[in-house]
Amino acid sequence: MRKLLGTGLHFDWKVVTITIVSTLLLMVDYYHRLTPEAWGIAQWKAVDRTILYLIIPLLITLLIFHEDPRRYGFTLGDWRAGLLITTLAIILIAPVLWFVSRGDSGMQDYYKGQAGGLPWNTFLDLLGWEFFFRGWILFGYARKFGAEALWLQAVPFALAHIGKPEVEALSTIFGGFAFGWVAWRTKSFVYPLLIHWFVASFTILVAAGVL
C-alpha cells in the first residue's frame, strides 16, 4: 500500500480490508438483526451469521480481491489428514466436554432449553463462523504474518465469546488456536468446522441434560 500521509508507513491493503471488515461484521452481528426477529431468534440468527461471515467475505474475495476462495481455505484441502484429525479430536475431546458440561452450573444455566433444532441449527450457525475465522482471517493474515496468524485469528474469536459461560470463554483462545492449526494443516476450514460443530452440539446436549 502507498505511503500514508508521508509518514513512511506501508500497509497491505488486503490485510487492512480484512481487519476493518471483520471487526465491523462482528459488531453488526452483536448489535443488529438482518432477518426479522419475528421469524425466530435462534434459527434466523444463524442465517444472519451465514450472510455476515460467509457470503460477505466470499463476495469481497471474489469481487474486490479478485482471488480464488480456495486460497482462503474454501476447499476440502488435505481431506485424508482432515478426516483423521477430526476423528481423533472428537474421540479425545468428548470426555472433557462431558465432564465440564455436567460439572459447571454456568454451562447448564446458559444452554438450558437450547437443544431444540440440533444439530442443524449449530451447523448453520458455525458454517460462516468457521470460514470467517479459520478461512478468511487466518489465510488472509498468513500471507503477511506467517504462522503468527494462528494466534492473531484466535484473539477476535475469543473476544466474540464474551458473554458465554466463563469456563467456555476462557478456553477459546487455545481452542481458537487449535482450530486454526487444523485449518493450517489441512489448508481448509472444513475440518475445524466439523470439530466445532461436534463440540457445540455435544456441549449443548450434555449441558441441557439431554445426554
- The tens-digit pLDDT sequence of the chain (211 residues) is 455 555 677 889 999 999 999 999 999 999 988 877 655 555 678 889 999 999 999 999 999 999 999 999 999 999 999 999 999 999 999 999 999 888 778 888 888 877 777 788 889 999 999 999 999 999 999 999 999 999 999 999 999 999 998 999 999 999 999 999 999 999 999 999 999 999 999 999 998 877 7
- Contact predicate 132/49, CB 8 Å: no
CA distance 191 to 51: 21
CA distance 96 to 108: 15
DSSP-derived 3-state class of residue 164 = strand
CA distance 142 to 34: 31
Residues 6+ apart with CB under 8 A from 151: 177
- Contact predicate 78/187, CB 8 Å: yes
- Contact predicate 196/90, CB 8 Å: no
Q: Counting beta carbons within 10 angstroms of the beta carbon of residue 138, is it exposed (0 to 12), middle (13 to 18) or buried (19 or more)?
A: buried
- Across the strands, what pairs with 162? 164
- Contact predicate 153/180, CB 8 Å: yes
How many whole angstroms from its chain centre is CA 112?
Answer: 23
